[in-house]
Amino acid sequence: MIKKLLFIVLILRISSSLQAQQVTPVYLDVNKPLEERVENALSQMTTEEKVALCHAQSKFSSKGVPRLGIPEVWTDDGPHGIREEVLWDEWGGAGWTNDYCTAFPALTCLAASFNPELSLLYGKSIGEEARYRNKNVLLGPGVNIYRTPLNGRNFEFLGEDPYLASRMVIPYIQGVQSIGVAACVKHFALNNQETWRGHINVNVSDRALYEIYLPAFKAAVQEGKVWSIMGSYNQFRGEHCCHNNLLLNNILKQEWNFDGVVITDWGGTHNTDQAVKNGLDLEMGTYTNGLTSRSKLPYSEYYLANPFLKGIKEGKYDIALLNDKARRILRLIFRTTMSANRPFGRFVSPEHSEAGRKIAQEGIVLLKNEKQLLPIPAGKYNKIAVIGENAVRSLVIGGGSSSLKVAYEVSPLEGLIAKYGKDHIVQSLGYASGPSMYGREAKSKLNADSLVAAAVDVAKNADVVLFVGGLNKNHFQDCEGGDRKSLDLPFDQDKLIEALLKVNKNVVIVMLSGNAVAMPWVDKVPAIVQGWYLGSEAGNALTDVISGDVNPSGKLPFSFPKKLEDNAAHFFGKLSYPGDSVNVYYKEDILVGYRWFDTKNIAPLFPFGYGLSYTSFAYSKPTADKAEVNSDGTVKVSFTLTNSGKTDGAETAQLYVSKPKSAVTRAAKELKAFKKVFLKAGKSTTVTLDVPVSSFAFYNEAKHSWEVESGNYTLLLGSSSRDIKGKVNIQVK
C-alpha cells in the first residue's frame, strides 16, 4: 500500500513538472505573429483535417479542427442585418426567440448618402450585431455595378459608379472588421442580373472589366484589406466565377495579392478539378440552388470534400494547393474568433437604432419640390392623407437572402402619426400586392377598383396627399432570383396616382425601392422623394425629412432613365440584356450609367449625383493648385461653397474628369472625387478635393496595364453629373 502511494506521488510530481515546463502551442499564443501561428497550426494538421476546413458542415458553417482547439467558421447573411438562425441542414428558420435583429438601410441608401463616415458607422454597427451572434463572417457588402434597372438585387449594391462604390465599401469593411468579424465582399464578379444567373456567360472587354466592374473589389482588397470574397454564380469566359482561374488566381490572388478566403456563393461550385485548381478556398451550399431546395447528399461528398481528399491521396492534386486553402482559412479564423483583441458585440441597441436612422436620413433623396410643398412642419395642415401599401407594409422581409427577422420596424404611417398626431392623419391602402411568396408572383385578393375608389375619396378631402409606393421585394421586383419584368411600377400604381391628382394637386410621391422606376406622371406631381428600403427606422427617418426636422442631402447613386431603352444595357437589344440564355454581351462596354447618358447626350429622368435640398448652395469658380502635373502627381481643386439659403444643410460636391481629345474611347466625364459638406445657413467654407492623376488612367488592353495619357484634361465641378458649376483645365506631362 505504501509503495502504491509513493508511486502515485511520484507520478503526480512528474506530471506537475511536465505541466510547469509545458509551452502553449504557437498557434494558440495570441502574442505570436499571425503568420507564425498559421504555419504552426498547419504543420500539426492531418491531410483529412485540412480538407475538412474547405467545405461546409451545415447550411452556414464549416469545420474547424476540434483536436487542436481551432473553432468552426460561422457565416451569416446579410449586408443589411443579421439573418435569423436556420436549421442545421435546412433553409427554414430554427424558431429561436433571441435572433431578432436591427434592420439597417439597404446599401443603395448608404451609397446615396455619399458619406464614407456613415459607411464606417454602418460597418461597425452591423459588425457588432454579427459579433454578438457569434458570427465570424458577414456575407456582404455587395459591390456589383448597377448596369440595368431591372436587376433584382440592385438594392443590395452601391450604385453604378466604380469610384463611388470603391470609396463607400472601404470604410464599411474597416468598420465590420474592427469588431473581429470578416466582411465578405460579393459577388466576384460580373453578377449584374438575376435572370439565368446560375449559368449565364458574361462577355465583356478587358477594359470594361478593369475600369467598371473590378475597381470596387480591388479597393476592398488593397485598401479595405477585406478578409474574404464571395464568388458569383455566373460564368465569365466559359468558367463559373466561383472557380475561375482568371478572376481568382490571376487577378485576385496574384495581381492584387489577396491573402484572404474565397468563398462560393451557395451552390456555386460545379467541378472538383476547377474548384481545386482555380482559386476557390471554401465551398458552401453545394447541391442546393442557393435559395430553397435541399438534398440528402452529405457534406462529405462536396467537390472539395472526399473527392478532393481522394485526389490528394492518389497524387492527382499537389498538396500545395490544399495547404494554400487551409492556410487562408486558418488566417481567417485567427483574425476573427481566435483574435486576442476581438471586442464584444451588442445587439438591437439604441446606438444601432440611432445609426440606422442617421444613415436613412442622409440617404433619402429629394427629387422634386415645386412650390416648396415640402417640408411639411407639424401644424401646417389639418388633414394629411397617407395612401399606398408601402406606408404600412413590412419592407425588411422578402428580397431573397437579405430578408430579415427584425426586433421592430417603424412603418411610414407610424412615423407620420407620431409626428403629426392621429387626428391629422387619414389613411387608405390604395393598392395591394398580396403576400410575398418567394419564387412566384404574388397577387392580392382585394378588389383593385374598390381600393382606388376609397383612396380617391380620402384624398379629395385632404390638404395634402403623401403617396407611399414603389416596389416591395416581391419576386420579380427587388428580389434575388429574378429580375423585374419592366421599368413600370407594379399593381397599377400609375393609374392610382393619376386618379389622386384629379382630386388633389398637392400630391407628394414617396418611392420606396432599390431601383429606378418609370414616372409617367413626373411633370404633374409637385414633389417626389426617393426613399429606398430604410430598415427598422424607416418611418422615423422619412418623417424627419418630410417634416423638415432633417434637411435632405442624399444624391442618386445611379441614373434614372426616362424609358428603359435609354439605359445602355437595353439600348443594344436582348443580346446585351438579358442575353440568349447562354451568353450575354456587354455591348455598351465602359459606357455604363451616366457615362452612357452624358457621352451619348441622352437626357435622363434624373441624373447620377442628383438631389435637392430645402436650402440652396452656391459654388465659386474652382481653381487648381497647379496648371501642369506629372502622371504620378496629385491635383488639388479648391472652391468656396456657400449655403445661400435659410436652412442648415449639406451638399455633396462632385469632381468629374474629362479628356476631350484621347487616343481611346472615353466617357464624357468620370467621377474622381467627392465631398459631403455640412453648412449652417448663410455660412461659407473652402473645400479642397484631392485628385491623383493616376486615377485619369485607362486600361490599355494591348499592354495589359494602366496608362495615363499626356495632354489636356478638364476637371468639372458639379452638384450632379449634369449640373456643372465650374471648370478648370490642367496639363498632364
CA separation for the pair 673, 677 (Å, rounded): 13
Q: Write down the residue that cell numbers 485576385 correspond to.
A: 252
Sequence letter at residue 199: H
State residue 588 phi and psi, 5-degree precision: -75, -10
Q: Give the DSSP letter of residue 76.
A: E
Q: Give the DSSP letter of residue 472.
A: -
Q: Which three cell numbers stand for residue 571?
A: 439600348
CB 476 within 8 A of CB 485: yes
Q: Write down the residue that cell numbers 387626428 correspond to.
A: 423
Q: How many CB atoms within 10 Å of residue 92? A: 11
- Closest by CA to 265, choosing from 194, 327, 356, 364, is 194
* Helices 319-335, 34-43: inter-axial angle, 10-degree rounding: 130
- β-bridge pairing 527-530 and 365-369: antiparallel
Strand partners of residue 507: 465
Contact partners, residue 616, CB within 8 Å, separation at least 6: 643, 644, 645
Q: Write down the residue that cell numbers 437572402 correspond to.
A: 401
CA separation for the pair 518, 516 (Å, rounded): 7
CA separation for the pair 508, 491 (Å, rounded): 19
Contact partners, residue 379, CB within 8 Å, separation at least 6: none
Q: Which residues are designated catalytic?
A: 265
| Alpha-carbon dihedral angle through residues 428, 432, 436, 442, given to the nearest 10 degrees | 170
- 10 Å CB burial of residue 406 (0-12, 13-18, 19+) is middle
3-class DSSP state of 699: strand
